[in-house]
Structure 1
Amino acid sequence: MSRTDRRAWKSARTLADLGQLTADWLEGRRASQPGYMPNCGPDEETAELVPSLVALNRAGFMTTCSQPGVAETGYDGAWWTQHAAVEGYLTDRVLYRRILDAAEALAHVVVVDDPQTGRRDEVVVVTQRDGEPYTAFGARPGPRDMRNLYGALHREARRELAGAIHLAVIAPYYGPASHRALWRSLDQVTGLEPSDTDDDQADADDDQEPAASR
């Protein structure tokens, strides 16, 4: 990691600071982020998700991992199925409630680890290779992993992460259709897309007859 990036991450004190820096990394404004290969940007499959991830990070949900929903033959000739999913940390309980409400409305799966309430859900397999489990989301890193991932951060930022809610939101089915539903619902939470209520109101406004001219 460059000295400039190291200083930037070291200056972060809050989860909001970390989210802003993560958004900068996603958009290519930062070359590196903690816990990731230095001078490497997001994975190729993340490219289409960048606007959604940036919006989540700037809203207060610091994302640490995400994936699109797919059902296809992979690079190795095996059949890969992925549930669209995202996970990370947040301390804003209003945002947390909004994400949970959006997930519940569409039957998305949530995995919560909340130090404040003691809730700790089981991890969920999100990727399979030829029908065998390959990747799971929802596991909160332990103390040793946290030191390895975020040891370069200021202690106040590490304290924020330790007390934050660790949240994963997962599409209930694998493949593109469920992928679109998951990311659209998250975009509505962050305001990147209008909510269904806004769409309904716009349709209602369009249906009204124009007022008579005077």
Structure 2
Amino acid sequence: MSRSDRRRWRSARTISDLGGLMALWLEGEIASRPGYQPRYGPEDETAHLVPTLAAVCRAGYVTTQSQPGSAGTGVDGLWWEQRAALELVVTDPALFHRLVDAAYAAGLIVRINDYRPGGGVQEQPVVATTCDGEAMTAFGGRVSRADMAMQWPGLHRDLYRAVSTGTYVSIIAPEYGLAGERLWVVLDVLTGQRRKDAADPWAGSTQLTGPAHG
């Protein structure tokens, strides 16, 4: 990570600051982010998700990982299936309930891992990627203190305390493949990127705004 990038992340003091910087990284305005390979942006497979993810970050959440829904033969000749999935951290109770309520209403899978002092809900992970039917990756599940520190290096201590004692929410489409891409429509409705369609609120929304730019 360059000195200027490191300084920008270190200057963040609030979850809102952190979300704004994460949105800029998603959009390519910042070359590096904490806990990720230096000078690498989002994976190519998530390029079409950037407007949605950036809007989520600017709405008071901070995304930590995501993947699109897909299914097909990989370069290894094996059959790969992915569920659309997202993990984020939230510290505002009202934003937490708004997100979780929207996800449940859409029939999506939700996993909650709460790191508030004194302990909280720690739900089990959900398989999100399979190869020839064998589980490969999962979303959700408890993050150890060591892994939390590796995920958020270089933050101001007050902001690190906030994200390391926040609530991590994983939202996973129940369907494998493209059908699960409705997850992003749900998030666009949540952030105001799309208007809900009364006939089909989770698949037929109308785009209201273009990609977010920093």
Q: Partners of 1:170 and 1:80 in 2: how far apart? A: 17
The answer on whether the counterparts of 1:19 and 1:60 sit within 8 Å (CA) in structure 2 is yes
Q: CA deviation at 1:152?
A: 1.1
> CA offsets per residue over residues 34-65 of structure 1, 9 Å max, x none?
11110111100010000000000011110010
Which residue is equivalent to 1:209?
A: none
Q: Partners of 1:193 and 1:141 in 2: how far apart? A: 33
The answer on whether the counterparts of 1:22 and 1:62 sit within 8 Å (CA) in structure 2 is yes
Q: Partners of 2:200 and 2:180 in 1: how far apart? A: 20
> CA offsets per residue over residues 79-127 of structure 1, 9 Å max, x none?
0010000002011222211111111112100010123471111110000
Q: Partners of 1:198 and 1:131 in 2: how far apart? A: 35
Which residue is equivalent to 2:163?
A: 161
Pairing 1:126-137 to 2, within 5 Å after superposition: 126-137=128-139
Q: Secondary structure at the match of 1:55?
A: helix
Which residue is equivalent to 1:192?
A: 193
Fraction of identical pairs, as percent: 49
Which residue is equivalent to 1:2?
A: 2
Q: Partners of 1:112 and 1:149 in 2: how far apart? A: 18
Pairing 1:53-202 to 2, within 5 Å after superposition: 53-116=53-116, 118-179=120-181, 181-196=182-197
Q: Secondary structure at the match of 1:85?
A: strand
The answer on whether the counterparts of 1:140 and 1:166 sit within 8 Å (CA) in structure 2 is no
Structural RMSD (CA): 1.7
Q: Secondary structure at the match of 2:175?
A: coil
> CA offsets per residue over residues 147-179 of structure 1, 9 Å max, x none?
222231110111011221101000011110121
Moved more, 80-89 or 116-125: 116-125
Gap regions ≥5 residues in structure 2: 202-214
Question: Counterpart of 2:147 in structure 1: which amino acid?
Answer: D
Q: Partners of 1:17 and 1:75 in 2: how far apart? A: 39
Q: Partners of 2:163 and 2:17 in 1: how far apart? A: 12
Q: Partners of 1:88 and 1:56 in 2: how far apart? A: 9
Q: Partners of 2:102 and 2:78 in 1: how far apart? A: 33
Higher-helix-fraction structure: 1
Following TM superposition, the consecutive aligned residue runs of length 4 or more in structure 1 with deviations greater than 3 angstroms are: 196-200
TM-score by length of 1: 0.88
Gap regions ≥5 residues in structure 1: 201-214
Q: Partners of 1:199 and 1:130 in 2: how far apart? A: 33
Q: CA deviation at 1:197?
A: 5.5
Change in CA separation of 1:57 and 1:198 when aligned onto 2, cut-off 3 Å? farther
Q: How many residues align?
A: 199
The answer on whether the counterparts of 2:35 and 2:153 sit within 8 Å (CA) in structure 1 is no
TM-score by length of 2: 0.88
Q: Partners of 1:140 and 1:35 in 2: how far apart? A: 17
Q: Secondary structure at the match of 1:39?
A: coil
Q: Partners of 2:184 and 2:73 in 1: how far apart? A: 23
